[in-house]
Structure 1
Amino acid sequence: MTEKPWDHQVSLTDPRALRAYAHPTRMSLVGLLRMEGPFTATRAAELTGESVASCSYHLRILAKYGLVEEADPGGPGREKPWRATAAFTEWPNYSPDPAVASAADALNAAVAENQFHRLMRALETRHNLPEQWQRAERHTDVMLYLTPEELTALGERFDAMVEEFADRAYDPALRPEGARRVAYLQVAYVAPDRAADTERPGEEA
């Protein structure tokens, strides 16, 4: 059984922490530790393809901002195991502080880019999946007209449904036969206005 982080989530509000976490290797290390940790910098190098020295450096940076910690403080050098401190990471969707807002936007962009690359890798190999998995996968979108309150409520409903399956990540005994790791993305944003949306039919711009 993979060790479950004891905290539900870690919150990042320091601009330096937000920018530190935006590094793709660090995001990858935190994700791997949550799913497969604890592990050492040597094992991290095997999983990421980075050097041991690079992984050790990035793990120390993550520890500085409370995202990971030593699982065995007495462990020797690079062979000491690391673990994630929480199951999820959150950061502000909005901040009146320009420094925080800018760093959060940069992190959002880094996360979106990382998710895009992961999605493209999955699409490149999905033809190898059994038919039932190919049919079960979802690639769809829809335009909705919502108020901020409605969008918040919709997200909370999705969160509640996803939470039903969250413990399976940490306890394989809870996974039914045939279960596989699935990346389920929730993305909702206000679509930029287009001039055509405000033009009346037959009217030239």
Structure 2
Amino acid sequence: MDENEKPRERRVLGVAELRALGHPLRMRIFDILSQHGPQTSSTLAELTGESSGSTSYHLRILAKQDLIREIPERSVGRERWWERPRGQTSWGDTEETRTPAGRAALQAATSEFHRLRNEDTTDFFTRRVDREPEEWRDVSSSFTTTTRMTAAQLGELAERIEALITEAGERHRDQEGDDVRVVSIRADLFPLSPLGGAS
């Protein structure tokens, strides 16, 4: 089995990595590499509307934190190709993020993460869905429900959903074909604020 095919353990990001991802353009670059595969600073410039000098600078910052890596065998001359290594990343409540600096870095990265995902979701369901072929319109969904659960029950549900999503991701990650597209699979689980409580 190739090294890139081996399942990688989940990487819990520290403050330095979170600071890197807290920048809007760096989070966007990280997403593009995750979703669409290897890119150069020039192709990223075209996709983001930024200059190649700017994307190159931000690529180096992401690489410094080992969030992305260069692909030496594809890089020729000044054209350097970059990819996001396989494997899950996560961030949350750790000893490092309980400090004031850690909390600020976590909040910035989390805010940017959700801003981009909300932007993608809104763009699809308000502007792009009607232009999609019928077979893609029929299977594109946004589900939500409200119920009453304990923390243990929500944790069990989260584990089941994560296992299902992870299994689908691993099974289809390298699939190719005329009818294959990159898709996003998401799940948000969290307790609501009490009525009259602080938001």
Q: TM class by shorter-chain length?
A: 0.7 to 0.9
Shift of the alpha carbon at 1:77? 6.4
For the 8 Å contact 1:5–1:84, the answer to whether it is kept is no
* Structure 1 residues 38 and 135: CA distance shift in structure 2, 3 A: closer
Pick the structure with greater CA Rg.
Answer: 1
- Map 1:35-74 onto structure 2 (within 5 A): 35-72=35-72
* Larger CA deviation: 5-14 vs 141-150: 5-14
Structure 2 unmatched runs, 5+:
none
Q: Which residue of 1 aligns with 2:103?
A: 101
Equivalent position amino acid for 1:133 in 2: W
Q: Which residue in 2 is equivalent to 1:199?
A: none
Kindly tell me: are residues 87 and 56 of structure 1, through their superposed partners in 2, closer, same or farther at Cα, counting changes over 3 Å?
A: same
**Aligned residues with identical type, % of pairs:** 29
The verdict on how the C-alpha distance between 1:72 and 1:171 changes in structure 2, with shifts beyond 3 A counting, is same
Distance 1:75 1:171, change over 3 A: closer
Contact 2:35/2:182 (CA < 8 Å) preserved in 1? no
Matched, 1:142 2:145: yes
Aligned residues of 1:68 and 1:82 also touching (Cα < 8 A): yes
Q: State the TM-score, normalizing by the size of structure 2.
A: 0.81
How many residues align? The count is 191
Q: Secondary structure at the match of 2:130?
A: helix
Matched AA of 2:34 = R
Residue 30 of structure 2 aligns to a residue whose secondary structure is: helix
Deviations 1:106-140 (A, max 9, x none): 22121111111111211211011233432322223
Determine the C-alpha separation between the residues in 2 that align with 1:139 and 1:172. 24
> In the aligned structure 2, how far is the partner of 1:195 from the partner of 1:156?
31
Structure 1 residues 38 and 138: alpha-carbon distance in aligned structure 2, compared to 1, 3 A threshold: closer
From 115, 118, 131, the counterpart of 1:116: 118
Letter in 2 for 1:21: L
Describe how 1:77-96 pairs up with structure 2 within 5 A: 78-93=78-93, 95-96=97-98
Matched residue SS, 1:163? helix
**Hey, what's the Cα distance between the residues in 1 that align with 2:155 and 2:63?**
32
Return the offset for 1:4: 5.1
Which amino acid letter does the alignment assign opposite residue 107 of structure 2? D
Change (3 A) 1:66 1:194: same
User: 1: distance between equivalents of 2:80 and 2:132?
Assistant: 37
Change (3 A) 1:107 1:9: same
Match of 1:131? Answer: 134
Contact in 2 for aligned 1:5/1:34 (Cα 8 Å): no
Task: Name the CA distance, whole Å, in 2 between partners of 1:186 and 1:78.
Answer: 40
Which has the higher mean CA deviation after the structures are superposed, 132-141 or 49-58? 132-141
Separation of aligned partners in 2, 1:10 and 1:115:
21
Alignment partners' CA distance in 1, 2:28 and 2:183:
16
